[in-house]
Structure 1
Amino acid sequence: MSWSLRAQFGSLSSGLINPSGIRYSHKNGKLYVVDPEHEGIAIVATNGTVKSLRTGLGPVSIAVDEQTGRVYVANSGDRSIAVIDGSTDSVIAMGSTAAKPYAIAVDEVNDKVYVSNTFSDQLTMMDGKTNAIRNVEAGSADAIFVDARRSKVYLLGYESDSVRVLDEQTGSLSKLPTGAMHVWAIVQLGSVLYVTHVQDASMEAINVETHVTQTIATGAMPCALAVDADHNELYVANYAGSSISIVDARAGTTVATVIVGGHPQAIAVDTERRLLYVADAQDNSVSIIDIRRRRILRKLGINGRPYALSVDSRTHRVFAAISGSTPYKELE
């Protein structure tokens, strides 16, 4: 990831930010948010009580294993992974990473944790059962996506025109072409992997089984993705296009564009209510979009810079991670 684009997307007053800086766990019924000022995370229970838990210096990203209830925090400042028991809210283990960690993801089927390291070709892997750590040469990654069904780990690096694929069973590495340099966001719907071309106005749809690819037009500088599998739609936040692209996954085309203004940077969807939430860290706001009607319902002013979002699909509560002294805010 280049420093010029990190300045736009990846760093605010408190340091590096990450779309995985906020996570909600249905199993634990709790929200987890990185809290760099307190060297840990904030844990928000269903009843609204908040607990601060120290995990390490410079926490940047969180992953939750919904099978075990364990929570994993990558700490860039002291190059560590904190393992948290979701039932007791206590740190039960610590592991060291190969360098400064950034992205983190969990394979809930195989009980593995994967952590990328900034400016390092080493991928750190943790065994969820034993907490044992090992590092492998897998190339620098700015985002990690796990396809547990196929036992594949997809490693996305900004300075690349491909996604590296780690086979969990064999340990072998392969590549999937992304159609352009400078890829940013990554999601999966069925057998298709979607990757945005952040310096263009498009994203690539890659069938991981057939390797057939398709380029889909978006707005300028697509930087974040959300998926509604029930309606076979994808939502793309276009940073320079000041808009949201709504993509029909079956047709492989953008079917609507909603102008939100500013620089949308993060996105989350409430699939049942058909509402889309779009954060803009530059103008301290979150826009709420009615997906059915393809229009903005309202724009909420936020006291702070919202850089990531999380939706509790059961209660329909929505939270924004905020850079500053207050690590999160529940939206109205």
Structure 2
Amino acid sequence: MIVKSWGRAARAALLGLALASPAGADEAFVTNQGSGDLTIVDLSTMAPVATLPIGGKPAGVAVSADGARAYVTSPEGKYLSVVDTRERRVLRKIPLEGGPLGLAVAPDGKRVYVADMYEQRLFSVDPESGVVATAQVGVTPSGVAVTPDGRTILVAIRDANKIAFVDAASFQKLGELEVGRHPFGVTIDADGKRAYSANVESDDISVIDLSSRRVIARVKVGKRPYCVALAQGRGFVTDQYAESVSVFDLSTFAPVAQVKVGEYPEGIGASRDGKTIYVANWFTNEFWSIAADSLKVIAKAKTGDGPRAFGAFIRAMN
């Protein structure tokens, strides 16, 4: 196990305390691949309040359901960083061979599931002790999501054009489903009824009925869709090459609008109340907020270099 030096962690913690957010403010944990760090943004003010050094070209991020931990993958560093969100410091780094990228946290917080894009596998990680199991899932696994009941893990298998289903209890692959070309981000709705895969090369979203494990719709969006967020009966999709967020109706799958954003948008998420959408713009080093109803840009925050925020990056306070 690799642990950060106390001096560095202490400096990061002190910075976080010095810029503490108002009590109860939701926060975003934005991975910056170029600068190798993690920007924490107070979502009530859209102001950065802390920056934590991570290293290893961080990309994926997932915040636990209780908001106590954030987990960050470093594909080049080959490790998973465990972040204490309250103290704003890295607790430990868990070594992961291959190329850890997409990840998701089990609803009870006891496991973190990490896709290894180089070795066709999914890791099951105990946040305290490290890897406890691996499952072979397919070529170039990317995005990861877990059903709300914690029973099933979905993995986007990019180079096979499929979504793999993994049983969380046995950690065995249950099967797979063909979707569009090069699925990357995968999102499950709050009811656990549908999943949405962003298919980068076919410029569409596959809508999956989870009870039957069938694709029930394909939704055309902008060029190079990356991730999907859900709010107010709409789907919001980052279109990397179109520099936009495509919006579609979740009931009819009809297009609603395209919102112009920064250059090369990647990670996207929705506030707990569904009123606000947040977007990380990789090439402009900005993090934007957008009103989910009017689709107007509300605010912009500067981040580190190359923000990706690939995953569930929002810490919602109770």
Normalized against structure 1, the TM-score is what? Answer: 0.69
Moved more, 128-137 or 214-223: 128-137
2:79 matched residue in structure 1: 80
* 1:14-54 Cα deviation digits (max 9, x unpaired): xxxxxxxxxx9x98966544466776545578998955555
Give the superposition deviation at 1:186: 1.4
SS of structure 2 residue aligned to 1:149: coil
Contact kept in structure 1, 2:248 and 2:257, CA below 8 Å? no
SS of structure 2 residue aligned to 1:159: helix
Which ranges in structure 1 are unaligned for 5 or more consecutive residues? 1-23, 316-332
Higher relative contact order (CA 8 A, sep 6+): 2
Is 1:108 matched up with 2:110?
Answer: no
Contact kept in structure 2, 1:96 and 1:133, CA below 8 Å? no
SS of structure 1 residue aligned to 2:141: coil
Q: Distance in 2 between matches of 1:54 and 1:281?
A: 18
1:327 matched residue in structure 2: none
1:301/1:165 CA distance change after superposition, 3 Å: closer
Give the superposition deviation at 1:298: 6.7
* 1:76-135 Cα deviation digits (max 9, x unpaired): 343222334444445444422122322222113261011222311232221245445443
Percent identity between the aligned chains? 16
Normalized against structure 2, the TM-score is what? Answer: 0.72
* 1:279-332 Cα deviation digits (max 9, x unpaired): 5444566665444345x45785958766446666669xxxxxxxxxxxxxxxxx
Q: Distance in 2 between matches of 1:58 and 1:306?
A: 10
**Residue type of the alignment partner of 1:64:** V
Contact kept in structure 1, 2:98 and 2:119, CA below 8 Å? yes
Q: Distance in 1 between matches of 2:292 and 2:123?
A: 39
Matches for 1:94-173 after TM superposition, within 5 Å: 94-109=93-108, 111-128=110-127, 130-131=129-130, 133-139=132-138, 140-173=140-173
**Residue type of the alignment partner of 1:171:** F
Matches for 1:218-257 after TM superposition, within 5 Å: 218-228=221-231, 231-251=232-252, 253-257=253-257
Matches for 1:1-332 after TM superposition, within 5 Å: 31-34=28-31, 41=38, 53-55=52-54, 57-67=56-66, 69-109=68-108, 111-128=110-127, 130-131=129-130, 133-139=132-138, 140-189=140-189, 190=191, 191-213=193-215, 214-228=217-231, 231-251=232-252, 253-260=253-260, 263=263, 265-266=265-266, 267-270=268-271, 272=273, 274-282=275-283, 289-294=290-295, 296-297=296-297, 307-308=307-308
2:10 matched residue in structure 1: none
Equivalenced residues, count: 287
1:162/1:27 CA distance change after superposition, 3 Å: farther
Contact kept in structure 1, 2:249 and 2:255, CA below 8 Å? yes
Q: Distance in 2 between matches of 1:282 and 1:59?
A: 15
Moved more, 158-167 or 168-177: 168-177
1:211/1:97 CA distance change after superposition, 3 Å: same
1:31/1:289 CA distance change after superposition, 3 Å: closer
Contact kept in structure 1, 2:183 and 2:198, CA below 8 Å? yes
1:176/1:135 CA distance change after superposition, 3 Å: closer
**Residue type of the alignment partner of 1:265:** P
Moved more, 98-107 or 299-308: 299-308
SS of structure 2 residue aligned to 1:173: strand
Moved more, 117-126 or 60-69: 60-69
**Residue type of the alignment partner of 1:126:** V
